[in-house]
Amino acid sequence: MLTLGVVLGLVQIVAASHAASLQRGYRWTSSPRDEPTLPLRGVAGRLDRALRNYLETFPLFAALVLVAHVSETHDALTEWGSRLYLWGRVAYVPLLYAASVPLVRSLVWNAGTSRRSA
């Protein structure tokens, strides 16, 4: 699950980067980005915010998975918790956050981050 979480993070980085490049232009992408820019709008803005949210929650997930591994705590709860986080994130980003589905998005986010162990 940890490896799949890293892959998901890389996919989110690429998606957010390309969406920003499409909105701001590839000249901006290849620039040093010294000048201030307007905030991203629409899907590009939502993908960027979803990536930032992922970067906030993934270290906690990774730490719990590693603690479970080191302490040899591999039971149904740790398995379900890690799967819930990963598949909750998979559903959260493209299906709910980027598509701007408000209430369901929050429920999925809560389900994916409110587990007790990894």
Confidence of residue 116 (pLDDT cuts 50, 70, 90): very low
Beta-carbon-side half-sphere exposure of residue 68 (alpha carbons within 13 Å): 21
Which pLDDT belongs to residue 104?
66
What is the average pLDDT across 20-36?
88
Report the candidate in 118, 106, 1, 110 with the shortest Cα–Cα distance to residue 60. Answer: 118
Confidence of residue 40 (pLDDT cuts 50, 70, 90): very high
Confidence of residue 16 (pLDDT cuts 50, 70, 90): very high
What is the average pLDDT across 71-90?
89
Domains of the chain by start residue, with CATH? 2-113 (1.20.120.550)
Q: Is the pTM of this model over 0.75?
A: yes
